[in-house]
Chains A and B, each alone.
Chain A
Amino acid sequence: MYSRAYKTLVSLPPLLWVGLFLLFPYALMLAHSFWAVRDGVLVHQWNLDNYVTLFSKPVYIGVLLRTMRIAASVTLCSLLLGYPLAYHLSFHAGARKELLYQLVIVPLWVSYLVRGYAWKTILGSEGVLNGFLQYLHLTHEPVAFLLYSPFAVVLMLTHIYTPFVFLPIYAALEHIPRPLVEASQDLGAGSAQTFLRVILPLSIPGLLAGATFAFVLSLGDFLAPLLVGGASGTMIANVVQSLFGAAYDWPLGAAISVGILIITISLLFLSERLEKQWSFK
């Protein structure tokens, strides 16, 4: 048994850290969202105007909806890429498993910014892809929608978050006892039936975890839209950033942040509930 003093001593640093750098800023943000800016000065006057603005001005709701649409697309795309990849690695890669696993992980070590600029280079009007398309005479002038569009944002975020989706799915698949797969075949199920009736249901917790990663991380992303999104690809985090920066409307920015926080926490909560429901320990 550990002494009371020891327990306090050990738990104090993390508690202080979380309190100082997480809970306190959240409280500050929450407070700001009920304050106001008058004549360019922040006044501590409690009101609900920021939330009214948030819901009444179509621009904010519009950007929020677009953000969720982009996040949903990223989630879907990275699931469509990550799941088959994880499945292949876990069940059919054989001796190449370790190598392929490392290949999936390596991009995570490359700076986010570098990857963003790489996409700029690929997608731009003078970029690699357009050059290639013209070289093949498939198009005669640069295809404009490739860069500075929601498409580019989805592409870049999918590229960045697919490993995050891959990892929990791979872990879930690796945890499926192989005799279950053999039992399914033994009972007369071919590969497709075995996948649908045994492997997929047992990998749902990993799938949910991966989907939550991709959605939540995309929802709060502001670098991808900044680098490759253009005006049509602006996301809600960019709005927050500009409200805290050039627009100097911290209260409204805080109100939007609170909104995002509520969405995120609800999603995490929901996903955890579902994951519990789908785990059969």
Chain B
Amino acid sequence: MSTATNAVETAASASGALLEVRGVAKSFGSRDVLRNISLNIAQGEFLTLLGESGSGKTTLLRLVAGFEEPTTGEIRMSGERLDTLPPYKRRVNTVFQHYALFPHLSVRENVAYGLRVKKTSAMEIGGRVDEALRMVKMQEFAASRPSKLSGGQQQRVALARALVNRPLLLLLDEPLSALDANLRKQMQSELKALQREIGITFLFVTHDQEEAMALSDRIALLRDGALEQVASPREIYAHPATAYTAQFIGQTNLLRGDILDGMARCGALKWPAHGPSGAAIFSLRPEAIRLACDAVAPPGTARFRAELQQQFFTGANELLEVNCGAGQLLRVRISARGPLSGEHEFVFSALDAIRVQE
């Protein structure tokens, strides 16, 4: 476990986490959307709920926002019960998936909305709205209607409208999914910079694992309404707990084989492995496999010969699909080196074959 994650978790348990989700479940009729979710979010943390559509990530976000009530369990914020409060009494603000800007109000009025309903003085509203618009670089559009703005600009207004209320926790529901690829990258970087600058805790929902990896302090991976793994991006990538996680986060080769007398076997592959004998699943990342001619081979290195079947050039890398015999296909990622063909010898370190649960 990385030191960053340790530090975050220690801080959470010492001062009390900002948000505590305790044994929360949610059912719609007979359909269980969330099952026994327990999760702490520390002050200042950027936590991402990652999962496929239907995994329950948006439902969990809506429970925190107050648009849904948990069927069982409770949610606490700064130690106090949150799930019993109506949405308008929570110090939580949301950036909605399609922004949900008020079409009849100008950008300025949209941003001022939260302060206005709380009867903030006109002078304070003016100052804080200006500040929020400056923060997202939208001052010059203050008088425009949302319909006149591009997707990225609407996104910024939505962000300013939420942040101007100085929430303890900002919820973001797939806020970048409606943007095209380039703009999304740019907004990711701005979002991360903004979060560092203002230090507000972010709870971010996405189905895009790359986005989750790039932005988060920690990722909570949801599968069918249950938490699959909660860890920092590096931790979850390097040590996926389950086969599902290994496949969902990045690319991997899942090796289903068995361990016998300290050796793992899977088809043509064989490498030293600890653990009790019996069936086992391993995750071996494509970049952990190298061409034998490129690598020194310390003890614990596994070797195998395989025939190249496909080669995809992706710029900095080549992605190879190789056949190690009997139809066992592996994916291998090596740095770009020109067209290859025929049979090659490959190596990987036994330490990179990570044992995972089903």
Contact B117 A189 (CB under 8 A): yes
Q: Report how far A193 CA is from B101 CA in the complex, Å.
A: 16
CB distance from A139 to the nearest CB of B (A): 48
Binary flags per residue of A243-281, CB closer than 8 Å to B gives 1, else 0: 000000000000000000000000000000000001011
Q: Does B108 contact A (CB under 8 A)?
A: no
* Chain A positions 131-164 with a Cβ under 8 Å from a chain B Cβ: none
Contact B117 A197 (CB under 8 A): yes
Closest A residue to B98 by CB, please name it: A179
Contact B104 A183 (CB under 8 A): no
Q: Report how far A180 CA is from B147 CA in the complex, Å.
A: 14
Contact B66 A280 (CB under 8 A): no
| In the complex with contacts A177-B100, A179-B96, A193-B117, A188-B147 CB distance below 8 A | no
Closest B residue to A204 by CB, please name it: B104
Closest A residue to B116 by CB, please name it: A197
| In the complex with contacts A179-B96, A186-B93, A202-B165 CB distance below 8 A | no
Q: Does B271 contact A (CB under 8 A)?
A: no
**Residues of chain B with a CB closer than 8 A to A197's CB:** 113, 117
Choose from B87, B104, B118, B147 the contact partner of A186 (Cβ within 8 Å): B87
Q: Report how far A187 CA is from B117 CA in the complex, Å.
A: 8
Closest A residue to B93 by CB, please name it: A186
**Residues of chain B with a CB closer than 8 A to A183's CB:** 94, 96, 100-102
CB distance from A281 to the nearest CB of B (A): 7
| In the complex with contacts A187-B93, A188-B118, A280-B147, A180-B100 CB distance below 8 A | yes
Contact B67 A184 (CB under 8 A): no
**Residues of chain B with a CB closer than 8 A to A180's CB:** 100, 102-103
**Residues of chain A with a CB closer than 8 A to B100's CB:** 177, 179-180, 182-183
* Chain A positions 3-49 with a Cβ under 8 Å from a chain B Cβ: none
Q: Report how far A179 CA is from B98 CA in the complex, Å.
A: 8
Q: Does B88 contact A (CB under 8 A)?
A: yes
Q: Report how far A151 CA is from B246 CA in the complex, Å.
A: 76
Contact B104 A280 (CB under 8 A): yes
Q: Which of A179, A183, A190 has the most CB of B within 10 A?
A: A183
| In the complex with contacts A179-B98, A193-B117, A197-B117, A187-B104 CB distance below 8 A | no
Q: Does A107 contact B (CB under 8 A)?
A: no
| In the complex with contacts A179-B96, A197-B113, A280-B145, A186-B102 CB distance below 8 A | no
CB distance from B161 to the nearest CB of A (A): 7
Q: Does B86 contact A (CB under 8 A)?
A: yes
Q: Does A232 contact B (CB under 8 A)?
A: no
Contact B114 A188 (CB under 8 A): yes
Q: Report how far A184 CA is from B116 CA in the complex, Å.
A: 11
Closest A residue to B91 by CB, please name it: A188
**Residues of chain A with a CB closer than 8 A to B24's CB:** none
Binary flags per residue of A169-207, CB closer than 8 Å to B gives 1, else 0: 000000001011011111111100100011001100000
CB distance from B67 to the nearest CB of A (A): 6
Q: Does B230 contact A (CB under 8 A)?
A: no
Contact B165 A187 (CB under 8 A): yes
CB distance from B284 to the nearest CB of A (A): 43
Q: Report how far A180 CA is from B98 CA in the complex, Å.
A: 10
Contact B104 A202 (CB under 8 A): yes
Contact B117 A186 (CB under 8 A): no
Binary flags per residue of B161-185, CB closer than 8 Å to A gives 1, else 0: 1100100000000000000000000
Binary flags per residue of B79-114, CB closer than 8 Å to A gives 1, else 0: 000000011110011101110111110000000011
Contact B67 A182 (CB under 8 A): yes
Contact B165 A281 (CB under 8 A): no
Q: Does B65 contact A (CB under 8 A)?
A: yes
Closest A residue to B87 by CB, please name it: A185
**Residues of chain A with a CB closer than 8 A to B165's CB:** 187-188
Q: Report how far A164 CA is from B117 CA in the complex, Å.
A: 34
Choose from A185, A201, A278, A281 the contact partner of B88 (Cβ within 8 Å): A185
Contact B94 A188 (CB under 8 A): no
Contact B145 A184 (CB under 8 A): no
**Residues of chain B with a CB closer than 8 A to A193's CB:** 117
Contact A188 B88 (CB under 8 A): yes
Contact A187 B66 (CB under 8 A): no
**Residues of chain A with a CB closer than 8 A to B114's CB:** 187-188
Contact B87 A182 (CB under 8 A): yes
Q: Which of B92, B96, B165 has the most CB of A within 10 A?
A: B96
Contact A184 B113 (CB under 8 A): yes
B interface with A by C-beta (< 8 Å): 65-67, 86-89, 92-94, 96-98, 100-104, 113-114, 117-118, 145, 147, 161-162, 165
18 inter-chain pairs at a CB distance below 8 angstroms, sorted by A residue, are: A179-B96, A179-B97, A179-B100, A180-B103, A182-B94, A182-B96, A183-B102, A185-B66, A185-B67, A185-B87, A186-B93, A187-B114, A187-B161, A187-B162, A187-B165, A188-B114, A188-B117, A189-B117
Give 13 A-B pairs besides A185-B87, A186-B92, A186-B93 with Cβ atoms closer than 8 angstroms.
A179-B98, A179-B100, A180-B102, A182-B65, A182-B67, A182-B96, A182-B100, A185-B88, A186-B87, A187-B162, A190-B88, A193-B117, A201-B104
List the 10 closest pairs (A to B, CB-CB), nearest first. Answer: A187-B114, A280-B103, A179-B100, A183-B100, A185-B87, A189-B117, A186-B94, A188-B88, A201-B104, A185-B88
